[in-house]
Chain A
Amino acid sequence: MNRPELAVVPGVDLQQVRPYGDTLGDGVVQVSFSLPLPACPEAEEAARQLALRMGLEEPQVYHRADLGYGFSFYILYGRCRHAVDVTRTLVPRVQALEASFEEINERLLRVAGRPLRVVGACTGSDAHTVGIDAILNMKGFAGEYGLERYPALRVRNLGAQVTNERLLHEVQATDADVVLVSQVVTQKDVHLSNLAEWVDLVEAAGLRDRLLMACGGPRIRHETALELGFDAGFGPGTTPRQVAAWILSEWERRHPPA
């Protein structure tokens, strides 16, 4: 695969990409970690050897500190000997067109013939509303209107700590077209099991094919979302317009003009 747009730095070899410190190909990286050992020469040597096994050449321990109670902390630099071929790396991304607020509304109303019904929630025991609100609330986020402002969308924001059962109930009651799920807490992968449970529930209810489903949150990747059975996943810094544009693209994809 040819990716000329990636070859910006003069001389960069896209098939052999290494970290950059101050010279192309030097491979310099910084790592820091603690060990469950008191600070001593042997512990420092253990840190160095770990770096070697991570693939770092000439690792140097630049900082060693005893944290007490048998722990110590290290900052190391080394040269990474591994390289990556980016011409063979393709990360799926959300397929959406670039369109303005006005365009999105105009086209959506035209293709759908009516405003789409959107239901959003932060689900499970997760109480974080700021992310889903940033996408949905009128006032929006990063200088952009939220989805509630879109004449082509009818939005219902259920807030946080919404059980999957309740979300399903609301989706059915409002006959929703689009479901937006937020997950912020990721400890012990609760977000994954919770999102998977949602997908199972929707499938069991026979609704999956009818619904456009996206999830989002600071640790959500599009690829993961696809694996879980969503149509899209949105990570940190997402703006409402990106989500609206995706809704439009996905709707058009599913409803091609006859």
Chain B
Amino acid sequence: MRNLLDLDPTVIEECRRLAAEIAREVTGFARARTTTSIERATLRWMGVEGADPEGVPLVNRVVEEARQAGALGLGIAIPFAGAMVRSGLSPQEAAQAIADGRLSLDRPPESLVPKCRSLARDLAEAGARRVQETVRQREQLIRDLGEGPHPLLYVIVASGNIYEDTLQAKVCVQAGAQVIAVIRSTAQSLLDYIPEGATTEGYGGTYATQMNFRIMRQALDEASRTHGRYVRLCNYASGLCMPEMSALGALERLDVMLNDALYGILFRDINMQRTLTDQAFSRRISAAAGIIINTGEDNYLTTADAFEAGHTVLASEFINEQIGLRCGLRPEQLGLGHAMQMNPWQEDMLLWEIAQAQLVREVFPRSPIKYMPPTRYMTGDIFRGHVQDALFNLVSVWTGQGIHLLGMMTEAMHTPHVHDRVLALESARMIQQAARHLEEEVRFQPDGRIQRRAREVLDRAEALLRQVRDRGLFQALAEGVFADIPRSPEGGRGLDGVALREPDYENPVEEVLDRMTDQEGDR
């Protein structure tokens, strides 16, 4: 490990140990439960697509049937396979028939269970083969085309119209973008279903649908070939449909997905039991599909002060890392979130930011930190904003971040216009090039401001982790430890979609996922 900050490795180890204890509680909690969205993700993995004439996805219709019968805690896979065995229909046809009320979801008689189980397993395996094929394609494309220099430049498209988005994305790729994120329509995270089909209307973003994923993937593959560099596609596995989003991401070869329960709890008031349970399953899917997840710590600093609350970001990153590892993700798949949200008028803010950014790199050397630009202190003064972003670009390349979200000078006004992005990419590329080897050349003053600041943040993170360990994550969240926002375990949206797993709960997709990521149940 590089140690430019002269950090004490025993403190880092202690942080990891505390975070591991916290994570064990969380994943243990999750493994004892299932949710409507986990079961819907299971059906999607097993090959169910499409919606009824009112636009309600078939997976929702089927799982809702089970939930209302109080059978959610058994898992959907075996009853669904039972319906298939009884009717002789394909997964798609069976889902359709259940939605039409022509087929019931009764639990199969004991004598039929082995047959149903083996059918369900076959379907889970078929899903796994599709996902493995996407992993293979990605590896092949990266081998053939390369991916360009690091940090990877990440830009957002969000016109609301997926076709317009593909056009904008291609312009970004030409200007040097390496990751394209399609921002979702406002409040999609609160929808308890995934809309169907290609969409051309959205607010503040474009709906995430399976078809939209496919359309953008295809456009980016074309652009990748044209520009000789693999361009990654990013979307959100967050909100009430978190595991389903991961499943679609896995099937449609998304490369990066935002995936953080804490973000939903804090910023969308989604129930913590629901989303922490969803998250564990969701991360298993990402782990198996080679998807890089992005965590949401960067956002804490939009409501809490970056200087005061720097340690909460680090503490949360430790927790997210440990939860991620327990779900089978490799460190290289953990795009932990960090952001430069320092008040630009604070004296030495650049020093404090370098300290924090470098700290995150040194603590998580194998993880591609997702580094977010200043957004909070951006104003309508686009000229000043461009300068703030330039400072950010410098810190990013200097401290060797993994995924560099581009700051836009129009951040405080609207989702970016086509030239906003190009100007941002140009500035980032220019500064990256200009400062390429700065890190190798510069050492920090021993015991100077930067080293002292980094140590202080690390020490405070350790103290906070101990606090969270002592009372548990749920209680800590209730007390508003993160982002200054308190949330209760029973509050928020989506609790009615959670069920305890019955002793005979079965989920063949989960079994397949565990195998794909070498997990043996919960470690």
CB-contacts of B412-462 with A (<8 A): 412, 414-415, 417-419, 422
Shortest B389–chain A CB gap in Å is 17
Q: Could you tell me if A71 and B203 are in contact, using CB atoms closer than 8 angstroms?
A: no
Which of A62-70, A91-99, A246-254 lies on the face that meets chain B?
A: A62-70
Residues of A within 8 A of B175 (CB): 67-68
- Determine if B419 and A67 form an interchain contact, defined as CB atoms under 8 angstroms apart: yes
Interface residue A125 (Cβ < 8 Å from any Cβ of B): yes
User: For window 131-162 of chain A, which residues contact chain B by CB distance below 8 Å?
Assistant: 133, 159, 161
Q: Tell me the residues in window 64-113 of chain A with beta carbons closer than 8 Å to chain B beta carbons.
A: 65, 67-69, 71, 73
Task: List residues of B (355-388) whose CB comes within 8 Å of A's CBs.
Answer: 376, 379-380
A127 and B187 contact, Cβ closer than 8 Å, known pairs A32-B419, A65-B422: yes
On whether the beta carbons of A187 and B268 are closer than 8 Å, the reply is: no
**Which of B145-153, B166-174, B281-289 is near enough to bind chain A?**
B166-174
Residue on A nearest B414 in the bound complex, by CB: A187
B167/A69 in contact, CB under 8 A: yes
Q: Is A168 an interface residue (CB 8 A)?
A: no
Contact A34 B417 (CB under 8 A): yes
Q: When A161-B187, A190-B203, A236-B380 are in contact, do A69 and B174 touch as well, CB less than 8 Å?
A: yes
User: B267 touches which one: A67, A68, A127 (CB < 8 A)?
Assistant: A127
Please name all residues of chain B whose beta carbon is closer than 8 Å to the beta carbon of A126 when the two chains form the complex: 186
**Which residues of chain B are within 8 angstroms of A67 by Cβ–Cβ distance?**
171, 174-175, 418-419, 422
Is A188 close to B, CB under 8 A? yes
- A60 lies within 8 A of chain B by Cβ: no
Report chain A residues within 8 Å CB of B187.
125, 127, 161
Partner of A185, one of B167, B170, B186, B412: B186
Nearest B-chain residue to A130, judged by Cβ: B303
Which residues of A from 176 to 234 have beta carbons under 8 Å from B?
A: 185, 187-188, 190, 218
Using Cβ atoms and an 8 Å threshold, which residues of chain A touch B317? none
- Please pick, from B167, B186, B269, B415, the residue contacting A125 in the complex, using a CB distance under 8 A: B186
> Which of chain A's residues have a CB closer than 8 A to the CB of B412?
218
Is the beta-carbon distance between A68 and B418 smaller than 8 angstroms?
Answer: no
Q: B92 on the interface (CB 8 Å rule)?
A: no
Q: Which residues of A lie under 8 Å from residue B204 when comparing CB positions?
A: 185, 187
Instruction: Given the known inter-chain contacts A34-B419, A73-B422, please indicate yes or no for A68 contacting B186, CB distance below 8 A.
Output: no
The answer to whether B418 and A187 touch across the interface, beta carbons within 8 angstroms, is no
A242 at the B interface (CB under 8 A): no
- How many angstroms from the CA of A159 to the CA of B415 in the assembled complex? 24
For chain B residues 159-182, which have a beta carbon within 8 Å of chain A? 160, 167, 170-171, 174-175
User: A residues within 8 A CB of B302?
Assistant: 130
Q: Is A129 an interface residue (CB 8 A)?
A: yes
Check A187 against B419 for contact (C-beta < 8 Å).
no
- List the B side residues contacting A187 at CB < 8 Å: 160, 186, 203-204, 414-415
CB-contact partner of A71 in B267, B268, B415, B418, under 8 A: B418
- How far, in angstroms, from A161 to B191 measured CA to CA in the complex? 13
Smallest CB-CB separation from A66: which chain B residue? B174
Contacts of B269 in A (CB 8 A): 159, 161
- CB atoms of A236 and B167 under 8 A apart: no
Q: Per-residue CB proximity of A160-177 to B under 8 Å, as 1/0?
A: 010000000000000000
In angstroms, Cα B378 to Cα A236, docked, is: 12
With A34-B419, A67-B419, A161-B187 known as contacts, the answer to whether A185 contacts B203 (CB < 8 A) is: yes
Complex Cα spacing A218 to B302, Å = 16
Q: A139 CB to closest chain B CB, in angstroms?
A: 10
Using CB atoms, name the residue of chain A closest to B493.
A161
Closest Cβ of chain B: how far from A37's Cβ, in Å? 12
Q: Are A127 and B171 in contact (CB under 8 A)?
A: no
Contacts of A34 in B (CB 8 A): 417-419
- Asked if B268 contacts A127 (CB within 8 A), the reply is yes
A188 pairs with B418, CB closer than 8 A: no
In the bound assembly, the distance between CA atoms of A236 and B203 in angstroms comes to: 22
Q: How far is the CA of A187 from the CA of B413 in the complex (A)?
A: 10
Contacts of A188 on B, CB cut-off 8 Å? 203
Bound together, the chains give a CA A65 to CA B170 distance in angstroms of 16
A102 to chain B, nearest CB (A): 27
Min C-beta distance of A62 to chain B, whole Å: 15
Determine how close the nearest CB of chain B comes to the CB of A72; give it in whole angstroms. Answer: 9
Residues of A with C-beta under 8 A to B160: 187
Chain A residue at minimal CB-CB distance from B189: A127
In angstroms, how far is the closest chain B Cβ from the Cβ of A195? 15
Contact B422 A236 (CB under 8 A): no
Q: Please report the C-alpha to C-alpha distance between residue A190 and residue B187 in the assembled complex, in whole angstroms.
A: 13
CB of B89, distance to nearest CB on chain A (Å):
39
Asked whether B303 lies within 8 Å of A68 as measured between CB atoms, the reply is: no
Instruction: Tell me, in angstroms, the Cα distance from A112 to B380 when the chains sit together.
Output: 39
Q: Which residues of B contact A190 (CB under 8 A)?
A: 186, 203
Give B41-52 as 1s and 0s: 1 = Cβ < 8 Å from A's Cβ atoms: 000000000000
Closest A residue to B418 by beta carbon equals A34
Query: Distance in Å from the Cβ of A110 to the closest Cβ of chain B?
Result: 35
Of the candidates B412, B417, B419, B422, the one having the most CB atoms from chain A within 10 angstroms of its own CB is B419
**Interface pair A68/B203, CB less than 8 Å apart:** no
What is the CA–CA distance of A118 and B492 in the complex, to the nearest angstrom? 24
Interfacial residues of chain B within 184-214, with CB under 8 A of chain A in the complex? 186-187, 190, 203-204
Known contacts A161-B187, A187-B203: A73-B419 contact under CB 8 Å = yes
Which chain A positions have C-beta within 8 A of B419? 32-34, 67, 73
**Chain B residue contacts of A129, Cβ below 8 A:** 303
Contacts of A65 in B (CB 8 A): 422
Chain A residue at minimal CB-CB distance from B415: A187
User: Which residues on B sit within 8 Å (CB–CB) of A69?
Assistant: 167, 170-171, 174
Q: How far is the CB of A219 from chain B (nearest CB, A)?
A: 9
Inside 8 A of B380's CB, which chain A residues have their CB? 218, 236
Instruction: Considering the complex, give the chain A residue whose CB is closest to the CB of B417.
Output: A34
CB distance from B16 to the nearest CB of A (A): 32
Q: Residue of B at shortest CB range from A72?
A: B419
User: Which residues of B are found within 8 Å of A218, using beta-carbon distances?
Assistant: 380, 412
B236 to chain A, nearest CB (A): 14
Q: How far is the CA of A236 from the CA of B186 in the complex (A)?
A: 22
15 contacts between A and B (CB under 8 A): A33-B419, A68-B170, A69-B171, A71-B171, A127-B186, A127-B187, A127-B267, A130-B302, A130-B303, A161-B190, A161-B268, A187-B160, A187-B186, A218-B380, A218-B412
Query: Could you list 11 further interchain pairs (A-B, Cβ under 8 angstroms) beyond the known A127-B268, A187-B204?
Result: A32-B419, A67-B171, A67-B175, A67-B418, A68-B171, A69-B174, A125-B187, A127-B187, A130-B302, A161-B190, A187-B414
Which 9 pairs of residues, A with B, have the shortest CB-CB distance?
A68-B174, A125-B187, A73-B419, A34-B419, A187-B204, A69-B170, A67-B171, A69-B171, A34-B418
